[in-house]
C-alpha cells in the first residue's frame, strides 16, 4: 500500500534507520524518533519528563552550544522542531539535501552528548510549568485531564503528556532523576531515524554509521508498563469553570491498541468518521438542523496500548447536555442495528484511507 521505496539498516547498537526516497528535488526531512512518551513515565511523582526532554534536547552539547546549534540550523535555512505524545517524542528537521552531512553530525552529537547544568534544568522546568498554566486557561485541557484520570486506574495513560500539575511543580527538584530518564530512554536501541525526500540509502547510511556507531545501547532493564484492568462500570465527572465558557461534553470508551490485524481498529476509524464528520447524520442533526451544538467530533486515535475512543461536543446551552449525550448513544445504536448504506460507507472508507 505504501507507494515509495524504503531502504533500511540496523546498526549493531540497535539503531534502526529508514530511508524513504521520493520526488522532492533538493529537500530532505530528518526525523529522530524516540520511542518514549508519557506512557513510559512509570515512577510515581515523575510524570511529564518525556515532554520535558523535548525542551532540554535544544540545550546544547560541549561541541555545539544552544546558540551554535541554532546558528547551524539558520545557516542552512532549515526548520527544526519537536513534539511529544503519549507513545513517542519526535525531533524533525527540514532542510536542503546539501545540509544532510551537517544534520547527521549535529543530531548524532546532541543525542549522545546532551549537557545541561542544574540551573538550566530548573529554568526549563519552570518554563514547562508556564506552558501548563497557559494550557490550563482552556477548559478543554481540564476536561482531558479529568477524563483520563478517571478512565485509567493503573496504566500510565492516566496522565496527559504534559504530566500531573503536582509533578510539574516539583520538577525543578528532580535534576538527578532527569539524568536517569535520559540515560534510560535516549539510547540507540530505543530510537529510530527516518530520512525522507531527495535521498537514497547510499547518501544516509555511511553518515549515520560515522556519527552514531559509538552510541551505546542501554545496559539495564527498562521498567514495565502495567496493563489497565477492564472497567466494570461507568465513571462520570461534572466540572465547573470560573470564567465564561460554553458547556462541553466529552465521552470516552475504552478501545483496542493500534494493530494492523485487529479489524476493530479499522472499524472504529470508520465509526469516528460516521459520527463526527461534517457530513454525518449526527452533525446535520445537532449542528445544522437543531443548532444545539456548534462543534462536534469523534476520534479513534492510534496508541501502543489500549486507549480511548472519543466523542466531544460544544453546546450552546447547558440544558441540552443530556439530550446531546442521548443523541450520541442513539446514533451509535442506530448504526449498529441498521448498518450504513453502501455508498456512504464507500465514501467514508475513501476518506479514512
Average model confidence (pLDDT) across the chain = 95
Q: What local confidence, expressed as pLDDT, does residue 288 receive?
A: 96
Q: Residue 286: what pLDDT? A: 97
Average pLDDT score over residue span 322-343: 95
91 CB-contact burial (10 Å; exposed 0-12 / middle 13-18 / buried 19+) = buried
pLDDT class of 353 with cuts at 50, 70, 90:
low
User: Is 298 in contact with 272 (CB distance < 8 Å)?
Assistant: yes
SS3 content of the chain, % helix, strand, coil (to 5): 45, 20, 35
User: Which residue, 231, 207, 250, is CA-closest to 107?
Assistant: 207
pLDDT surpassing 70 at residue 163: yes
Is the predicted pLDDT of residue 24 greater than 80, yes or no?
yes
Q: What percent of the chain has pLDDT over 70?
A: 100
HEC per residue, 224-258: CCCCCCCCCCCCCCCCCCCCCCCCEEEEEEEECCC
Which grid cell is 226? 502495567
Give pLDDT tens digits for 25-73: 999 999 999 999 999 999 999 999 999 999 999 999 999 999 999 999 9
**CB crowding 30-57: b at 16 or more within 10 Å, else e:** bbbbbbbbbbbbeeeebbbbbbbbbbbb
Q: How confident is the model at residue 125, as a pLDDT?
A: 95
Give dist(CA 252, CA 346) in Å, integer. Answer: 26
pLDDT of residue 348: 84
Residue 287 confidence (pLDDT): 96
In whole angstroms, what is the distance from residue 194 CA to residue 16 CA? 9
pTM of the full structure = 0.92
pLDDT at position 56: 95
**What gap in Å lies between CA 163 and CA 100, rounded to an integer?**
35
Which band of pLDDT confidence, cut at 50, 70 and 90, is reported for residue 352?
Answer: confident
SS3 at position 19: strand
Residues 20 and 196: their CA atoms lie apart, in Å, by: 5
pLDDT, one tens digit per residue, over 193-224 is: 999 999 999 999 999 999 999 999 999 999 99
Distance, CA of 338 to chain centre: 35
Q: 208 by DSSP, 3-state: which?
A: helix
Amino acid at each position: 500500500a505504501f507507494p515509495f521505496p524504503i531502504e533500511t539498516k540496523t546498526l549493531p547498537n540497535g539503531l534502526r534507520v529508514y530511508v524513504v526516497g521520493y520526488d522532492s528535488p533538493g529537500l530532505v526531512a530528518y526525523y529522530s524518533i524516540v520511542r518514549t512518551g508519557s506512557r513510559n513515565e512509570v515512577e510515581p511523582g515523575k510524570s511529564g519528563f518525556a515532554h520535558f526532554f523535548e525542551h532540554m534536547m535544544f540545550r546544547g552539547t560541549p561541541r555545539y552550544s544552544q546558540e551554535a546549534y541554532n546558528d547551524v540550523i539558520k545557516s542552512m535555512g532549515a526548520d527544526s522542531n519537536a513534539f511529544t505524545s503519549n507513545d513517542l517524542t519526535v525531533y524533525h528537521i527540514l532542510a536542503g539535501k546539501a545540509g544532510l552531512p551537517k544534520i547527521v553530525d549535529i543530531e548524532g552529537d546532541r543525542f549522545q552528548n546532551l549537557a545541561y547544568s542544574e540551573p538550566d534544568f530548573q529554568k526549563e522546568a519552570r518554563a514547562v510549568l508556564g506552558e501548563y498554566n497557559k494550557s490550563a486557561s482552556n477548559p478543554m485541557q481540564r476536561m482531558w485531564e479529568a477524563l483520563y484520570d478517571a478512565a485509567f486506574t493503573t496504566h500510565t495513560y492516566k496522565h496527559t503528556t504534559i504530566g500531573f500539575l503536582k509533578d510539574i511543580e516539583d520538577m525543578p527538584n528532580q535534576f538527578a532523576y532527569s539524568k536517569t530518564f535520559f540515560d534510560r530512554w535516549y539510547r540507540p536501541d530505543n530510537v529510530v531515524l527516518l530520512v525522507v525526500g531527495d535521498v537514497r540509502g547510499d547518501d544516509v547510511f555511511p553518515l549515520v554509521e560515522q556519527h552514531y556507531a559509538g552510541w551505546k545501547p542501554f545496559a539495564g532493564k527498562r521498567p514495565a508498563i502495567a496493563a489497565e484492568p477492564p472497567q466494570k462500570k461507568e465513571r462520570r465527572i461534572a466540572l465547573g469553570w470560573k470564567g465564561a465558557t460554553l458547556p462541553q461534553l466529552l465521552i470516552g470508551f475504552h478501545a483496542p491498541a493500534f494493530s494492523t490485524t485487529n479489524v476493530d481498529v479499522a472499524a472504529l476509524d470508520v465509526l469516528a468518521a460516521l459520527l463526527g464528520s461534517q457530513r454525518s447524520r449526527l452533525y446535520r442533526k445537532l449542528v445544522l438542523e437543531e443548532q444545539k451544538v456548534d462543534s462536534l467530533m469523534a476520534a479513534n486515535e492510534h496508541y501502543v496500548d489500549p486507549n480511548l475512543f472519543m466523542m466531544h461536543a460544544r453546546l450552546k446551552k447547558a440544558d441540552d447536555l443530556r439530550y446531546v449525550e442521548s443523541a450520541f448513544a442513539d446514533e451509535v445504536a442506530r448504526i449498529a442495528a441498521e448498518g450504513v448504506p453502501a455508498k456512504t460507507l464507500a465514501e467514508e472508507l475513501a476518506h479514512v484511507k
